[in-house]
Structure 1
Amino acid sequence: MTPDDAAANAENAGVMRVRDLPPGAADALLASHGLQLHRVDDDAPIPGSYWGEPEAGVIANNVYVRSDTPVHSMLHEACHLIVLPPEQRAQVHTDATDSVIEEDATCCLQIILAGELPGVGRARLMADMDAWGYTYRLGSTQAWFEQDAEDARMFLRGLGLPHR
């Protein structure tokens, strides 16, 4: 499945978008981790977007979204920055990492942080991740999170980040 196929499927599946969040909720969550959320106009390109619109973008401590950006994408890109040391964050532009453990930790943390966003929660985020096309060897995001993410949790714990 290509990113375009996943995006088309997810749009039809009703994936939660940034526009669906309560005002200020995402800003406060990201700020609590030293990040700033920037909203760009709906017809504008998203700075630092690896996959292209409507996927979130990252540049240093900044996360860029449009109203049609999926919540899971915003959280995923933010979590890429959260798992990096501050000196590495400052160097990020578009592509945060090529580390497998950092990618796994990012996926784990985005699920955990979804529980802190009103109206989202872990179950909804995992369903959206599956609808979008995330793939795991156990077949679903929930199975991976519950049964196969211990290495990601250990990595997060080592960074002093939420891991349960």
Structure 2
Amino acid sequence: MSPDTPLACGDDPASSVLRLGQIGFDAPASLLDRFGLKLQRVAPGEPIPGSFWGDEEAGIIGSTVYARDDTPVHSLLHEASHLIVLPPERRPDVHTDATDSIEEEDATCCLQIVLAGELPGVGRDRLMRDMDAWGYTFRLGSARAWFERDADNARDFLKARSLPHA
């Protein structure tokens, strides 16, 4: 399925989200490397180390993000963004759960959308649709509405740390 393939009537939206195997590991690994992170590919069917939600969801341990071919791109970017918003000296202590801070969670959601624009075959629009399909919830009803009209605090958080925010 291409990133722009529309859903057929009756399709489960969460089953049609863009998966890492569809875009490959090279571009995401290069993107993560820019932030001092490593992307570790996990063999098909193997448990993903450091995955908070389990199943195909990405995992984090230290400065490494773990993912399989069936890992949703939004999950990879979300977990990587958790590590990116943390000061590097806090990363070694991370195992599975990066934060309990609402401020950091909001910055993470904003950053994952921004970073999606840097991945060929993904883009912000696709990522926000996938976030909605997967069940992310925002008080304005959608990832796009939140990102466009309610993410100023998240952008300020990212900007103050010299992280991508626009």
TM-score by length of 2: 0.92
Give the match's secondary structure for 2:60.
Answer: strand
Deviations 1:132-152 (A, max 9, x none): 000000000000000000000
How many residues align? The count is 155
Deviations 1:29-81 (A, max 9, x none): 00011100001111100000000010000000000001000000000000000
CA distance in 2, matches of 1:54, 1:149: 28
CA distance in 2, matches of 1:161, 1:17: 25
Given that residues 22 and 118 in structure 1 are in contact (C-alpha distance below 8 angstroms), is that contact kept between their aligned partners in structure 2?
no
CA distance in 2, matches of 1:21, 1:47: 21
1:17 and 2:8 are equivalent in the alignment: no
Structure 2 unmatched ranges of 5 or more: 1-11
Report the aligned-residue RMSD: 0.9
Match among 113, 130, 142 for residue 144 of structure 2: 142
Give the match's secondary structure for 1:135.
Answer: coil
Give the match's secondary structure for 2:125.
Answer: helix
Which residue number in structure 2 is paired with residue 97 of structure 1? 99
CA distance in 2, matches of 1:76, 1:143: 18
Which residue number in structure 2 is paired with residue 5 of structure 1? none
Structure 1 unmatched ranges of 5 or more: 1-7
Deviations 1:101-152 (A, max 9, x none): 0000000000000000000000000000000000000000000000000000
Identity score, percent: 65
CA distance in 2, matches of 1:27, 1:87: 21
CA distance in 1, matches of 2:72, 2:126: 12
TM-score by length of 1: 0.93
CA distance in 1, matches of 2:140, 2:25: 35
Which amino acid counterpart does residue 90 of structure 2 have in structure 1? Q
Which residue number in structure 2 is paired with residue 39 of structure 1? 41
Superposed, 1:7-156 pairs within 5 Å as 9-11=13-15, 14-156=16-158
CA distance in 1, matches of 2:141, 2:70: 27
